[in-house]
Amino acid sequence: MHKARLEQINRLFLDYRRQFEIGDAEQVADFYRFPLHYYREDGNKLAVSREEFVLQVDKLLSAYRRLQVNQILGTVTDVIELNDSSSLATLNWILLCPQGEKSAELYSATTRYLLSDTEDGLKIDGLILVDEAEKIRGAVRARRRAAKQG
Q: Where are the domains of the chain?
A: 3-149
Looking at the structure, give the CATH architecture of the domain made up of residues 3-149.
Roll (3.10)
Sign of CA dihedral 62, 67, 71, 75: negative
Out of 1-5, 52-56, 78-82, least confident range? 1-5
Chain length of the chain = 150
In whole angstroms, give the CA distance from residue 135 to residue 110. 12
pTM over 0.75: yes
Give the pLDDT confidence of 66-108 residue by residue, as tens digits: 889 999 999 999 999 999 999 999 999 999 988 888 888 888 8
In this prediction, residue 131 has a pLDDT band, given cuts at 50, 70 and 90, of: low
Alpha helices, H only, the chain: 3-22, 25-29, 50-66, 133-149
How do beta strands 102-118 and 86-99 pair? antiparallel
Reported as half-sphere exposure (CB side, CA atoms, 13 A), residue 27 has a value of 13
pLDDT of residue 150: 63
In this prediction, residue 138 has a pLDDT band, given cuts at 50, 70 and 90, of: confident
**Residues 14-19: contacts with CB under 8 Å, at least 24 apart:** 14/74, 16/74, 16/124, 17/72, 17/73, 17/74
How do beta strands 86-99 and 45-48 pair? unpaired
- DSSP class of residue 43 equals S
Cβ neighbours around 132 below 10 Å, total:
17
